[in-house]
Chains A and B, each alone.
Chain A
Amino acid sequence: MHVPIKQYYGLLSKYLRPQRSQVLALSLLILAAIGLRLANPQILRTFIDTATESGPREVLLRLAALFFAIAVFTQGLSVAATYVGETVAWTATNALRLDLLEHTLQLDPTFHKDYTPGQLIERIDGDVATLSNFFSRFTIDVVGNGILVMGILGLLFREDWRIGLPILGFAVVTLVLLVWIRKLAVPHWTKYRALSAEFFGFLGEHIAGREDIRGNGAEEHVMRRFFGFVQSMFPVRLRSSLGGYGMWMANVGLFAFGHAVAFGVGASLWRSAMITIGTVYLVFHYTELLRGPISELRTQITDLQRAEAGIRRIRALLSTESCLANGGSASLPRGPLALAFEHVSFAYETARSEANGPPKESPRVTALHDVAFEVDPGSVLGLLGRTGSGKSTLARMLVRFYEPQQGVVRVGGRSVRDVQLCDLRRAVRKVPQEVQLFRATIRDNVRLFDPSITDAQVLQALAQLGLRDWVARLPLGLDTMLAGDGGGLSAGQAQLIALARAFLADPGLVILDEASSRLDPATELLLEHAVDRLLEGRTAIVIAHRLSTVERADQILILDDGRVVEFGAREDLLGNQDSRLRRLLRTGLAEVLA
């Protein structure tokens, strides 16, 4: 199965249209080169005929000089074509990369759970790289080489139809056979690229997990998995590479046949004195010249096989739609927001379809069952429950990472479905459990590359969290580069940066997901002070694994296995001897005094 020409055209026109004039320049450069290539053998023929008939020496010298001039000029053209072609290709593929990146960034977490960052790098950057040649040269070369082949055939017909016809037949058979072989090779390429993406995903993940591997002496295990990949990939690599060599072999065999035809025709016409020896040489040379464009077509087709596999995967990625609709057009007001869950139920989907993707698994069946509660604007809800009880799921529904299968989630009185996604994520800010830092300046890490946020705003947010002195002590201040893996910061500092990001957004609803874990008590006090500032005048959900975090909550909701087992004002629950909260507190008490 091959990608229909329509899809090539779709990709081409979308990304090449903005560069119409460059593409035109490139076409002209290539056409000029074709003209020169057709002219060269004619000079050789004249030369041979003049020389064998003992023509004047100066004519021979002039012909040789012309040959030189054309050679020099052709090379100038090829350098210019490279410059224009590469610029066009990279401009187009860069645009495609960004489109893919943007699209991937908008896909929901269900998608991202299935792919390692390494796999996605391969799909956003690796697949597009194979397309680079496609954009710069493919269409123009295929068209250019087509014109060259037709030019050669035309010139041969001009000599004699008895020469033109057999060579035409040869050219047609050659092209048909090469296209047929191409079809055989594509599936192997696709498979190899998919395996290779998985392999690099494996490598990336294990490089990131070195500490765990070393600390538990599992290097041998990793190397054994490596060998597993090496062995399973070899047969696929062998087949996909043989596809390329198959083209070459076919090319060689077909040209042996082509030369046999050219020699046969040339010899018989020469013997009947219908053509000169120079023309016999011309036929031989033109047949040989066909090797160039047909060989280039073969290379282009090999690149096309890669590009085709790439295009298919790119299209698959682009057509993977977020499970979440884009939402409505409503926006949320500033200031604290009310929040309500109206009989919300949710179960993780077991599968989703995406072409060429790995089989999907959804191991967690944790779901929410008929969850209902309300939180007034400005008050703080403490969310409690065992790991896997559905707390994270509940929080994620507020930012529409998941959508309820039943019921409605309301923020500020509106169903979150009706709110524009970007507005929702401005107004509802979740501080995630694990802080992701970027290899960029502190400034960009805090403002997440948003150029509209000024240094003063960044510094103010950092000052709120007591990080201002720390920044002031750094020689480069906000310009200090952070390592991407967060190697430069302690876990506490990283979390403070995550809080600073939330400060800057000025949300009406804050969701704190265990934001104070992994900190020592002294730093935690500082952080709690900062959190108090953040929650001031905002509605908040605090996902607590520690009872101490619950102290700031006005209301408490306890989840167990996706169900609300207790919900009420904290004071009321504390007043009730039989409440779960009291029972938990007793456990906590035991924890403290044991």
Chain B
Amino acid sequence: MRTCQALWRLVTYRPGLYSANVIAWIGILMAELAAGYVAKLFFDAITDASPAGLTVESIIALVVGVGIVRIVTILIGALTDIRHRYTMGSLLRHNLLNQVLALPGAQPLSCSTGEALNTLRDDVQVLEDTISWIVDQFAFAAYAAVALAILLTIDARITTVVVLPLLSVLVAGRLVSKHIRRFREASRRAAERVTGAIGEAMEGVETIQLAGAEQHIVEHIRVLNEERLHATVRDRLLTQSFHAFFWNAATLCTGLILLAAADGLSAGTFSVGDFALFVVYVGILAEFIAAFGDFMMHIRQAGVSIERMAVLAPENRQEAVVEHVPLAIRGPQPKVTLPQRSPGDRLSELRVENLSFQWPSQTTDEDAQRPSLTRISFTVCRGEFVVVTGRIGSGKSTLVRVLLGLLTKTGGRILWNGYPVDDPASFFVPPRSAYTPQVPQLFSDSLESNIRMGLPVSSDVLHRSIRAAVLEEDIPHLHDGLQTLVGAKGVKLSGGQRQRTAAARMFVREPELLVFDDLSSALDVETERHLWERVFERKDRTCIVVSHRRPALERADRIVLLREGIVLGVGRLSQLLETHQEMCDLWQGQAFRSGQRP
């Protein structure tokens, strides 16, 4: 995605507001132009060079009047700019969040969460500035045109002598600005590493405290901090030298006026008022050119930011970062639509045929450790309880993730009632399916919101799903019952409560197909027993469960036994125990430990 294209998409998002902003800022600069002209009128008046014959008193009144006009124009410009900036920031953050959520849910982001946050915070800010500063460029152009016209009518020769160097500086500046991008990128990367590391330290604070490793982590981040210091100072130094180059040019131009106007002033053909006007206008023009140089640099920085944003979106959807979506920063928002159940959604049979999955090759060598899947096939019929089992790294979790589209399959077909599912990610959602991952995440909100996640079902359904998840006894013990705020990532709940909350979240969606990954891992025996009982209570439920727990294996209508991403066998427990040593090992693993009981 090219920088200009992206910026153009953003500028055209709210053309009305943007135009109003441009007009307001042109107004601000025109009023400033008038203030400069009043100074000329003053000097002309006292040196009697004024053709208009204005009195000093009326000029002083004019100074105050122009001041008031300027205040009004600034207020209008402020209101349009703040509003437009906020709209831009919100649009970009909306699109980024939307794109991140559109990625296959279990596919790792191309960067850490801390880095992604950095993009959402700082890179969006950079673009917000860029868009706002484009407005300034329009206003500067208008100012420059009018100012040049006035200067040319006063003295064309002096104007040419002074303005030509300004233009050459502009060209020279463009040549230098190429290098800025590299330094900017380096300093951004260094900043990211610091925020990423701080984020991890905060997430892992318990681990760090338990290990007494506080000092070592601080030391680790101190090193990253140092790197950031060097990168940032280098970046700032270059930016500042660049800036100084422009400002220097502005002052040199004032020197040029001195030289060019010497003869005119002596001869009386160039008034002190003209001189004052030249110094003021050329000073402001040079300021604009300096600002324009900054702007050109900023455009390059915006390019870096746009690239970093694009990385968060899927590869073929990078332009989605700047797409136009309805967005109201005030007033009502678009309504949420309830998932509608259509007759075709009713599950009678789910068939998985030759499902394969391979991690993309360009990812790190760590991926070699992650399980892939080779030609997995099995069938789930309505009302069946299917267990996926196998030892660690056999691809159990990967299988359910690929099935649900949380990872993108690299081969095979999924058939829902015999019809192939084109896009599992958008198909396997409520009311067709719901899912509880191995390590469920909760969000800092109330317990009820964490279960509903926006689903406006009746409290009857809510309580039914709470019961199904064996959570009903915990709720009275919580501070505010269902309204209890669960804290960041649900830390105020115990591990088991978190897991059962996630289960309730799945149940409340009343899907055709329930998929849960190792639901009972953090539960004690009794709670686990209750949970299984309640899962089996409803015979019409269709479930795919990743588990190695005996109650699950025993009740399974079908077990999919995996090893190293390949199906060893599919069948009931008794069949698999007879035919597969692997099944015996898994079963014995438990039997061995339980067998020591008296």
Report A230 CB to chain B, min CB distance, Å: 5
| Contact present for A271 and B46 (CB under 8 Å) | yes
Question: A49-79: which residues lie under 8 A (CB-CB) from chain B?
Answer: 51-52, 54-55, 57, 60-61, 63-64, 67-68, 71-72, 74-75, 78-79
| Contact present for A592 and B594 (CB under 8 Å) | yes
> Is the C-beta of B411 less than 8 angstroms from some C-beta in chain A?
no
Given A366-B477, A487-B366, A548-B593; A392-B494 close (CB under 8 Å): yes
- 15 A–B contacts, CB within 8 A, in A order: A44-B279, A55-B266, A67-B254, A67-B258, A212-B436, A216-B509, A220-B454, A241-B82, A245-B82, A253-B71, A260-B63, A263-B60, A421-B212, A438-B197, A490-B392
> Is the C-beta of B413 less than 8 angstroms from some C-beta in chain A?
no
> Is the C-beta of A32 less than 8 angstroms from some C-beta in chain B?
no
CA distance A326 to B103 in the complex (A): 46
Closest to A235 in B: B330
> Is the C-beta of B98 less than 8 angstroms from some C-beta in chain A?
yes
Report A284 CB to chain B, min CB distance, Å: 7
| Contact present for A388 and B393 (CB under 8 Å) | no
> Is the C-beta of A341 less than 8 angstroms from some C-beta in chain B?
no
Report A464 CB to chain B, min CB distance, Å: 17
Closest to A74 in B: B251
> Is the C-beta of A334 less than 8 angstroms from some C-beta in chain B?
no
| Contact present for B492 and A361 (CB under 8 Å) | yes
Closest to B598 in A: A574
Given A52-B266, A263-B42, A448-B211; A208-B364 close (CB under 8 Å): no
| Contact present for A548 and B522 (CB under 8 Å) | no
| Contact present for A213 and B105 (CB under 8 Å) | yes
Closest to B241 in A: A79
Give every chain A residue within 8 A of B228 (Cβ-Cβ). 90, 94
> Is the C-beta of B479 less than 8 angstroms from some C-beta in chain A?
yes
CA distance A505 to B241 in the complex (A): 51
CA distance A44 to B212 in the complex (A): 67
The 8 Å CB contact of A280, one of B46, B120, B494, is B46
Binary interface encoding of chain B residues 574-598 relative to chain A, with 1 for a CB under 8 A from any of its CBs, else 0: 0000000000011111111110111
| Contact present for B529 and A521 (CB under 8 Å) | no
CA distance A264 to B300 in the complex (A): 47
> Is the C-beta of B209 less than 8 angstroms from some C-beta in chain A?
yes
What number of residue pairs across chains A and B have CB atoms under 8 A from each other? 568
| Contact present for B108 and A485 (CB under 8 Å) | yes
| Contact present for B489 and A260 (CB under 8 Å) | no
Give the segment of A117-125, A142-150, A373-381, A454-462 that binds chain B. A117-125
CA distance A64 to B258 in the complex (A): 6
Give every chain B residue within 8 A of A365 (Cβ-Cβ). 477-479
> Is the C-beta of B394 less than 8 angstroms from some C-beta in chain A?
yes
| Contact present for A221 and B454 (CB under 8 Å) | yes
| Contact present for B121 and A126 (CB under 8 Å) | yes
Given A68-B252, A450-B216; A591-B330 close (CB under 8 Å): no
| Contact present for B210 and A474 (CB under 8 Å) | no
Report B370 CB to chain A, min CB distance, Å: 7
Binary interface encoding of chain A residues 472-504 relative to chain B, with 1 for a CB under 8 A from any of its CBs, else 0: 001110001111110111111100001001000
Question: B415-458: which residues lie under 8 A (CB-CB) from chain A?
Answer: 425, 428-430, 434-445, 452-455
| Contact present for B200 and A61 (CB under 8 Å) | no
Binary interface encoding of chain B residues 69-106 relative to chain A, with 1 for a CB under 8 A from any of its CBs, else 0: 01100110010001101100010011001101111111
> Is the C-beta of B402 less than 8 angstroms from some C-beta in chain A?
no
Give the segment of A107-115, A158-166, A531-539 that binds chain B. A107-115
| Contact present for B233 and A90 (CB under 8 Å) | yes
| Contact present for A68 and B255 (CB under 8 Å) | yes
| Contact present for A113 and B108 (CB under 8 Å) | no
Give every chain A residue within 8 A of B222 (Cβ-Cβ). 94, 98
CA distance A252 to B78 in the complex (A): 14
Question: B375-395: which residues lie under 8 A (CB-CB) from chain A?
Answer: 389-394
| Contact present for A490 and B369 (CB under 8 Å) | yes
| Contact present for B592 and A525 (CB under 8 Å) | yes
> Is the C-beta of A116 less than 8 angstroms from some C-beta in chain B?
yes
| Contact present for A249 and B75 (CB under 8 Å) | yes
| Contact present for A249 and B525 (CB under 8 Å) | no
> Is the C-beta of A169 less than 8 angstroms from some C-beta in chain B?
no
| Contact present for A238 and B82 (CB under 8 Å) | yes
CA distance A554 to B493 in the complex (A): 30
Given A284-B39, A362-B479, A545-B523; A98-B200 close (CB under 8 Å): no
Query: When A and B form their complex, which 9 residue pairs have the shortest distance between CB atoms, in order from nearest?
Result: A256-B67, A521-B589, A221-B454, A215-B435, A488-B366, A217-B429, A387-B496, A436-B204, A214-B105
> Is the C-beta of A13 less than 8 angstroms from some C-beta in chain B?
no
| Contact present for B67 and A83 (CB under 8 Å) | no
| Contact present for A120 and B202 (CB under 8 Å) | yes
| Contact present for B212 and A212 (CB under 8 Å) | no
CA distance A252 to B68 in the complex (A): 9
Give every chain B residue within 8 A of A401 (Cβ-Cβ). 206, 209
A interface secondary structure, majority: helix
Binary interface encoding of chain B residues 474-510 relative to chain A, with 1 for a CB under 8 A from any of its CBs, else 0: 1001111000111111011111110000100110010
> Is the C-beta of A340 less than 8 angstroms from some C-beta in chain B?
no
The 8 Å CB contact of A426, one of B212, B236, B529, is B212
Apart from A587-B529, A590-B529, what 14 extra A-B contacts exist at CB < 8 Å? A48-B272, A86-B233, A117-B202, A212-B505, A216-B505, A221-B453, A227-B328, A230-B329, A257-B67, A288-B280, A386-B524, A392-B494, A426-B212, A492-B392
> Is the C-beta of B323 less than 8 angstroms from some C-beta in chain A?
no
> Is the C-beta of B226 less than 8 angstroms from some C-beta in chain A?
yes
| Contact present for B489 and A587 (CB under 8 Å) | no
> Is the C-beta of A234 less than 8 angstroms from some C-beta in chain B?
yes
| Contact present for A215 and B434 (CB under 8 Å) | yes
Closest to A561 in B: B477
CA distance A281 to B485 in the complex (A): 67
| Contact present for B276 and A284 (CB under 8 Å) | yes
Q: Which of A44, A64, A421 has the most CB of B within 10 A?
A: A64
Give every chain B residue within 8 A of A363 (Cβ-Cβ). 478-480, 484-486, 492
The 8 Å CB contact of A241, one of B78, B101, B240, is B78
Given A64-B258, A392-B494, A587-B529; A451-B365 close (CB under 8 Å): no
Report A202 CB to chain B, min CB distance, Å: 7
> Is the C-beta of A546 less than 8 angstroms from some C-beta in chain B?
yes
CA distance A547 to B68 in the complex (A): 82
Give the segment of A17-25, A182-190, A511-519 that binds chain B. A511-519
| Contact present for A551 and B117 (CB under 8 Å) | no
Give every chain A residue within 8 A of B203 (Cβ-Cβ). 117, 436
> Is the C-beta of B265 less than 8 angstroms from some C-beta in chain A?
yes
| Contact present for B425 and A547 (CB under 8 Å) | no
Give every chain A residue within 8 A of B60 (Cβ-Cβ). 260, 263-264
| Contact present for B233 and A83 (CB under 8 Å) | yes
CA distance A54 to B269 in the complex (A): 12
> Is the C-beta of B19 less than 8 angstroms from some C-beta in chain A?
no
Give every chain B residue within 8 A of A4 (Cβ-Cβ). none
| Contact present for A207 and B67 (CB under 8 Å) | no
The 8 Å CB contact of B252, one of A71, A238, A399, is A71
> Is the C-beta of B515 less than 8 angstroms from some C-beta in chain A?
yes
> Is the C-beta of A579 less than 8 angstroms from some C-beta in chain B?
no
CA distance A221 to B406 in the complex (A): 18
Report B222 CB to chain A, min CB distance, Å: 6
CA distance A522 to B522 in the complex (A): 18
CA distance A312 to B509 in the complex (A): 45
